Each structure stands twice: as C-alpha cells, then as structure tokens.
Amino acid sequence: MLPINKAHLKLLTLFICLFIVSCQNKKAEHQTVDSNAKPKLIVQITIDQLRGDLPLRFMDKMSENGFKYFYTNGVVYNNAHHAHSNTETIVGHASLATGAYPSTHGMIANVWLNRETGVLSYNIEDPRFSLLSADADVNQKTEIDPTQKKARSSGRSPANIKVSTFSDELKLASNGKAKVFGVSVKDRGAVSFAGHTGKAFWFSKKSGEFVTSNYYYKSYPEWVKSWNAEKHQLFYADTNWELSNSIDSYLFGENDNQEWEVDLAGFGRTFPHKFGKGDGKYYNTLLTISPAGDEITSKFAQSVITNEKLGQDDITDFLSVSFSSTDYVGHMFGPSSLEMEDNLLRLDKTLAQFIQFIDENVGLENTLIVLSADHGSPEAPGYLNSLGMEASTVDFSQLDKDPAIERLKQRFGIGQELISEFFPPYLYLNHDVINERKLDLSEVQKAVAEEVAKFKIVEHAVTSADLNAGSIPTTNVLQKVINNHDPRRAGDIYLVFKPHSFVNNFDGLHVASYHGSVWNYDTYVPVIFAGHTIKNKTIHRRIETVDIAPTLSALMGIKPPSGTDGFLLPEVLEK
C-alpha cells in the first residue's frame, strides 16, 4: 500500500466533503415539491381490526419510522369512526374504498342470504370468474359459509359493490392510464380497493401463492409467476413465531397463557408458536395468524410497485395494501394479549421497511399514504371478566326452538321452523312457510322482533319492514343500523346486542374475540394522511371513515365516487 501524505489526505477529505454536499443537494432537489403538484402514487394502507388506540398503547416500544412516521408527520384524526352498524371486514373495506355507507354500496355483511336462490352469498363471490390457479380453488372455504353446509364458488369479482370506488374514479379521470392495484391476504381486502377497474391479488391459504381471478387477467403476468415460484411462504417453514424482545419488556408479558385464547391446529397459546413443516395441512393458515402474513403481503406489494412501475410518471397511480394478520391474531388471542402486542411491534417493523422502500423507489414527497382500519376490536369477554367487567357470548343457533318463538308459531299456525337462519347480525325468517300461510311478512317480522327484544342480551331488534318504511328513531345507534340497510340483501330482523355481548362464531370456530357490533370499540379506527405535502397536525373533531374517499378525490381534482356519503376533510386539502 502506498503511503498517504498530508497533501493527499487533504485532497481526499476535500473530495469526500464535495461528494457529501453534492448528495445533499440532489436529495434537497429531489424533496422539493410544488404544493400544488399531485402525488405520483397514492398508497392506502388498511390494517384489519386495528382499533384506534392500539398503536398508541405500544408506541413507546416502536421504531421511529413505522407507526410513529404517521403520528409525527401526518394529519392525525384521533376520533375517527365507521358510521355503520355491522363492523365486519368487507363492510369496512368497501366504505373506505367508496366513501359510501353500506346502505349505498351494498356490502352489508361478509355473507348474506340470497332470497332468489335461497343460497348464502359470500360478498365478492362470482361464479362467472374463476381463479387463475386451480390449486387455490378452496382458498376461502372456511371464510364463506360458517355452517359448512353449502358448496360455494371460488370465483371472485367486485360486481356486488354497487358504486364506484376512489380508485375507479382515478382510473376514469386518467382515461385508464392510472395503474390501480389491491393487495391483501384476504380476497375481499384486495378486491374492494381495486374496485371495478383495477387489479387485485390475494393470498391462497391452500397454495401459499398470491392469486387472482380471470375477472382481472386471462393469465398471470410473468413477474407474478416468478414471484410465486420463489415460494416466499416457505421462508418460515420449521421456524417459530418468537417474541421480538425480552418478555419482561412487554405490557402483557405476564399474560402469555390466557384461558380464553385459542390453540388453532397446534399453534399453541404460548410463545414460541410453531409454524411446522411447509407442506403441513394448516401451515399457510398459521402464517396468516402471525406477523408472517403481513410480512409476505408487504413483500408482494413491493413487487407490485417495482414490476408495474408505480409512481414513475406524471399520472397518479394507486396501491391498496390491506394487512390482515392483526384481525386473525385478535380473533385467536384478543387485543389485550402478548400475541397482539408482539404482532403490532412486528407490524411496526414491516411498515417501517415498506415506507423506506416507497421512499427509495418513489419518494415520500411524491407519495400520499392513508392509514386506517376496516373496523376496531372488542376486548375478549374472558379478559373483561378477569378485570371484573360483565361480558358474555351469544349463541342463537337454536333460537327457533326457544319457547317464545314456539308460542309465535302456535299463534300463526306454523308447524315448522319460523326462523330459518341466523347469520349475524341478521335473522332470516322462513318466507316459504309465511307465504304458504298467507301471513303478512311485516306483521311476522314485528312479532318476532318484539319477542327477541325481550332477551337480556338484546339492545334492539329492528325489522326490515320498519327500516324500509323509515319509521325508526334516528338515535346514534339506530342511525348506524339505517346506514347499514340494503332492502335487497338485508335479513328480516337486524339484531343489536348489548355492549360486551358477543356472537362467538368465526368461520364456525369459537374464538377469543369477535367484532361486528355497533359500539365504539368496533367503530373506532385510526385515520391518518401522511407523505407528499402533508404537514403534521392532530384533529380531535369526530369524523367518519367515508370522508376519506371524497377527500382523496378533491385532492386529485376529480369527481368523488358515485355513491359518496362522506364529507371533505379540510386539513388534508390545506396548502
């Protein structure tokens, strides 16, 4: 090695300084954005079952660039709520995507009974459009029919969403040139945001691949084939979900084995949770009830950005990423569990890495990011009981045999079942027998509702006849039921259970915690706009999640989605 004298050292130092200044100038130039310029990319992040307080509960343990990025750089609405009553996955996703209430967009529940066919319909089910991957056909079986009585189609499309989404309007305004993608573990999480004009990909629990239907493509793009061929899901084979930190640093470190938690397929109620072999029957399912599901989703979303060249020209593109693991972890272990705490810490790292990827490939100054959730989360009844609060679970599977209903059968001269199905939150009456007896449907609905409303756990029993007639009072709770009502898809009676009374049925499984109510713990979600030209501020005014889509439309200078019920958020639009 040649000796370095002082002259050489000075020259080298000068060169390094000039190089650093040059890089800083380039970065400053890169970050200079016209406040009137439109973003090159809009990323809408939805975290399934993220109640509004949960990130804040564990914020002291989080990094600077994950959740904290949003709270320290964004417009934070800390009193945001869904304004509908049935706080389920598709209902919330569709409301976020369309800016409309379920009464307008039509997605009133994850499933509803089709009166014309007598068959239970899954929200985005469409037998006209089959999956492109034949080995993924039974991907959603356990998410379609909790009773497992009816064979369902695995075809998927957005056809049941009655109105346009924000992403549709972006596509229309750009003469089809805007690129629009939706990505999620859940098919309904991807399809809802991709809208009628975009492309959707979701995770097959059977094949371990990201799949789509022939509504979107005739065949997979080559990059998707390559990505799936890499078998990203097998990275976790024969490994465990381990705690990220020392157990004594966790708020719930002493609560690793709570009796109400669920041991699904040997995953266990305590750390470490074993994924098992990559070809195990439940291996891919176990990935989704752990942080691994979100990590895989983030990797695929990054691949979408790279391969589809999102945010690389002057036409604004749109990417929705719906992270689903928080929902599954919440159901299996509850929001106040060691598993949920570690899941959110791991999700924080996933978000930080995803945000860094966006910054490196598109630039945060060129990207507007919206963070929210499709619904909140109730505490597990067992957890509430352990702290002295009254809470209970509801089983209405045998309601037709209840003495009160038996008396109604005698009154109406009905010798067979009167209540045919209970798919929360709707009771479905036996229309065949009602028509056979030439009974007045609204009268029977009213009689059943009056009896069910006497049950200790029931707050309201609202008939479809009264909702159709607009003859119920518009209290805070009942207005949410009105906002959820679609006459063609609703059941005969909408049941609102009292606070902390839960229907414990998740795909036919008894779980630790189940959302879906009208109460604030299920409606309360984060709403945060960050990136692009957004300046940090916290807003305490109550807003609704349907305000997001029209605000994005106003920011882009395009027309709002066709069924918009929300209002503009001025803080996001301020220059």
Q: With beta carbons less than 8 A apart as the criterion, state whether 58 and 341 touch.
A: yes
CA nearest neighbour of 156 among 117, 108, 199, 101 = 199
How many CB atoms lie under 10 A from the CB of residue 176? 10
Alpha helix ranges (H) inside 252-337: 283-288, 291-307, 325-333
- HEC secondary structure over 316-345: CEEEEEEECHHHHHHHHHCCCCHHHHHHHH
Rounded to 5 degrees, φ, ψ at 170 are -65, -40
Structure tokens at 542: 């109550």
Q: Cα(353)–Cα(70) distance, rounded to whole angstroms?
A: 14
Give, in degrees to the nearest 5, the angle at Cα 99 between 94 and 102: 50
How many CA atoms lie within 13 Å of 377's alpha carbon, on the beta-carbon side? Answer: 28
d(CA 288, CA 224): 20
Main-chain phi, psi angles of 558, to 5 degrees: -120, 170
What proportions of the chain, in percent to the nearest 5, are helix, strand and coil? 40, 15, 45
Distance CA(216)–CA(160), nearest Å, equals 15
Which two tokens mark 561?
């989605």
Annotated catalytic residues are 89
Cα distance between residue 570 and residue 575, in whole Å? 10
Is the CB of residue 58 less than 8 Å from the CB of residue 344?
Answer: yes
Helix (H, G, I), strand (E, B), or coil: what is residue 43?
A: strand
Q: Which of 368, 297, 306, 310 is nearest to 47 (CA)?
A: 297
Token reading at 427: 């009771």
Q: Of 38, 19, 97, whose CA–CA distance to 548 is shortest?
A: 97
CA atoms of 193 and 158, how far apart (whole Å): 9
- Characterise 537 by phi-psi region: left (phi > 0), alpha (psi -120 to 50), beta (else): beta
The residue behind tokens 């109406």 is 412
SS3 346: helix
User: Helices 222-229 & 291-307, crossing angle to 10 degrees?
Assistant: 150
Q: Encoding tokens for residue 8?
A: 């050489």
Question: Is 407 strand, coil or helix?
Answer: helix
Amino acid type, 530: A
